[in-house]
Chain A
Amino acid sequence: MSGAHAMSRREFLGLSSAAALAVLCPGANATALAGLARSAEGMLVVADHRYSDSLIFARALGIRGAGIFSMKAGLADVWFDALAPRLAAGGHRLAGLTLESELFVLERLAESCGMRSCYVGRHDWRARSGSQHVLGGSIGIDQVAQALAGGAELWAAITADGLMTAAAGPSWQERKISVGLARAADSPRFLVSWVMTPSS
């Protein structure tokens, strides 16, 4: 994680996929990295082109093989043209770091494809200092919280990475953490990270 701690958003986005993966997983050898590069295959990630933190979150999953879908053409087009047909075919997960309204819409649209949220993290910079993060999910939420707390400028990438390595949990758990993470200058003061999976 030390590489990620020291790196800026701009530097991270400029790296090749292999180099970016090595930054997020500093201890992994070449064989392990090759496996990690495919670990998010089948995941579909929604990226909000307006916000660097959203793009970094998507990139952190993209370097593991996830498909990235920009909202530039509008959420409706992304949903109907790209996401819905893929989700209807089954076997996919859906993720993103977005505004809350996009999660609200996608949760309801994805319900028709049998999907539901297994993780939602609410990242809040509305207070004058510091940031608050309420993480909830039926996954190893402590692991995600721990990763996020050490995230520094690349908190969005570290959170995405933490989500990939977190084990499934027995039931929905929630953790609240207050830390001084820096949001990107172009980010709003409230973002939501989320993952949806097929409901059983």
Chain B
Amino acid sequence: MPLPPGLSAADFDNVCRELRSVVGEQWVVTADEKVASYHDPYFPGTGGQHLPSGAVLPASVEEIRAVLGIANRVRLPLWSVSLGRNYAYGGGAPCLDGSMVLDLKRMQGIEVNEQLAYAIVEPGVTFFQLYRHIQDKKYRLWISCPAPGWGSVLGNTLERGIGYTPHGDHAGQQCGMEVVLANGDVIRTGMGAMTDNPAWPLYRYSYGPSLDGLFMQSNLGVVTKIGVWLMPEPEMYSPVDIGVDREEDIVALIDTLRPLRLDGTIPTATIANWMRIVATQTTRAQWYDGKDAMPPGAIEKLKKTMRIPHWGLRFGLYGPIKVVDEKFKIVQKAFSSTGNARIARARYPRGAKIAPHHQAAAGIPDVELMPLNWMGGTGAHIECPPVVPMIGAQAYELYRERTALFASYGFDHYSGFTTTTPRTFFNTGSIIFDRSDPEMTGRARELSAALIRDAAKSRLGGYRGHISEMDLIAEQFDFNRHAAMRTYELLKDAMDPEGILSPGKQGIWPKALRTARREGERK
């Protein structure tokens, strides 16, 4: 394992001894086999990059403050993770080699208020834990969760992750935060700035500027609690599937969806291409054994045999039974005029058992990763979804460009358009590869970078990305000579002068490393 930058082996031993005195002997991890669990499992030790020196696991805010005190004194870089399960984006691995992982999984506090429909969670709480807590207490509340749901509620929310219920924009449902700053100070945002104010998890703003956004996808503090709004259990949940057969049908599909999304008839919705639909049911080798991207003929044969559309739009309708049924009539009328759309619907009154394939949009977590088996071997994926305006022609053009790019690198195009906000999509484009094949892994990385650059040519930027591509993604945000990044750096230098918190996250480096990196680039 690499040592933290600037520390000798003896220095590091001394630091670990100090850290153990704070968190306890077993909660400082330096043995190779245990530290390996923080490597990015999809790119394990690629090129010797993104390797941590160890991990420290505090159990409380007080322990975090003490750890930060030590880290500031010896300039020990800490890479904060809640659980480290955002695997397509790097898992628990740090941007900077030799960083020590600040693993917050021991902090598992949950508080749920049924009356006002919110929860306050600590970093170690998984979506499963929150879901089961609510089930056990028989609260009439739903969570929203990503797929799979084994990650941290707090971590996913801070990374602006998504789910499939009307609360699918997770960052949009966050209200109130507790943060430990690099200097050890503890702040509460929003109404929480007033001691014991009951509106902390209820009203997002405060008196004065809003601070919460500073700590999302950020390295300006360590978030130790957040409030998340929950959804009251609806009287009726009715998932709707709409399929169209031709690639170009996506234009009408999106242009029909948009007004219904804007007026609130349809909440969060996802459009999946043929591969995203079929990869949950089968593997590539059962249909095609060429090394190149599947040709159109093979795709058509697969679609016909598996009876799947080229595009599938899925969303839920929620609310009182009469309202849901009326909404469905509106949906049916709108989409029946878009060519050959096939519309299917299920109805789940409160208390009904929900079929497995409809559970995601009901906030029921799972751990299925079937699409990873698409290529066979040891499956992995990487992606950097751009944010795309909800305009049919624009989405179609982007899809065609990206399909061609995927094919030029020998990959099938796994694509989805998820609308968690009413005016945009996240265009997920997972590159699924066999990580036991070094050549294919290399191609996947090259394609990922090419997709980021290609999207930027159309002036589209990623909302999230892998640790190895955070600098590249950040570079694309270039307005006024990267004025946004200059502002982030201003804040970083003021709030974390020793540069100990997650160096490099989202392309934001502390001053000392920034200068060294830029000098390195010039050479």
Residues of chain A whose beta carbon lies under 8 Å from any beta carbon of chain B: 74-76, 79-80, 99-101, 104-105, 108-109, 111, 122, 124-128, 188-190
Contact = CB atoms under 8 A, between A and B. Distances in A.
A120 to B, nearest CB: 10
Interface string B51-90: 0000000000000000000000000000000000100000
25 contacts: A74-B356, A75-B368, A76-B128, A76-B367, A76-B368, A79-B367, A100-B373, A100-B376, A100-B377, A100-B379, A101-B368, A104-B41, A104-B379, A108-B85, A108-B150, A122-B378, A124-B376, A125-B285, A188-B282, A188-B286, A188-B376, A189-B285, A189-B376, A190-B285, A190-B373
A109 B150 contact: yes
A90 B182 CA distance: 40
Contacts of A99: 370, 373
A127 B377 CA distance: 12
A109 to B, nearest CB: 7
A188 B366 CA distance: 22
A80 B132 contact: yes
A190 to B, nearest CB: 4
Contact of B289 (A80, A104, A124, A126): A126
Most buried by A among B41, B368, B370: B368
B369 interface: yes
B128 A80 contact: yes
A49 B376 CA distance: 19
Contacts of A75: 366-368
A75 B128 CA distance: 13
B285 A126 contact: yes
A126 B286 CA distance: 9
B42 to A, nearest CB: 10
B123 to A, nearest CB: 15
Contacts of B372: 100-101, 104
B184 interface: no
Contacts of B379: 100-101, 104
Contacts, number: 69
Interface centre among A74, A100, A122, A188 (most CB of B within 10 A): A100
3 A-B pairs with the lowest CB-CB distances in the bound complex, closest first: A190-B376, A189-B285, A101-B369
A105 to B, nearest CB: 5
Given A80-B128, A124-B376, A128-B289, A188 B368 contact: no
A190 B85 CA distance: 25
B283 interface: yes
A189 B41 contact: no
A101 B376 contact: no
B369 A104 contact: yes
B368 A126 contact: no
A80 B364 CA distance: 13
Contacts of A188: 282-283, 285-286, 373, 376
A188 B286 CA distance: 7
B266 to A, nearest CB: 27
Q: Classify chain B: how many residues form its interface, as a range.
A: 20 to 34
Interface string B388-427: 0000000000000000000000000000000000000000
B259 interface: no
Interface of B: 37, 41, 85, 128, 132, 148-150, 282-283, 285-286, 289, 356, 365-370, 372-373, 376-379, 436
Nearest to A127: B289
A127 B378 CA distance: 16
Contacts of A108: 85, 150
A130 B288 CA distance: 17
Contacts of B282: 188
Given A80-B132, A104-B41, A126 B376 contact: yes
A79 B149 CA distance: 13
B101 to A, nearest CB: 15
A100 B285 contact: no
The winner among B37, B372, B373 for most chain A CB atoms within 10 A is B373
Nearest to A106: B367
A5 B122 CA distance: 56
A76 B366 contact: yes
Contacts of B377: 100, 122, 124, 126, 190
A125 B285 CA distance: 9
Given A76-B128, A100-B378, A101-B373, 17 more contacts: A76-B366, A76-B368, A79-B367, A80-B132, A99-B370, A101-B370, A104-B41, A104-B369, A104-B372, A109-B150, A122-B436, A124-B376, A124-B377, A128-B289, A188-B285, A189-B376, A190-B283
A76 B376 contact: no
Contacts of B366: 74-76
A109 B356 CA distance: 21
Contacts of A122: 377-378, 436
Nearest to A75: B367
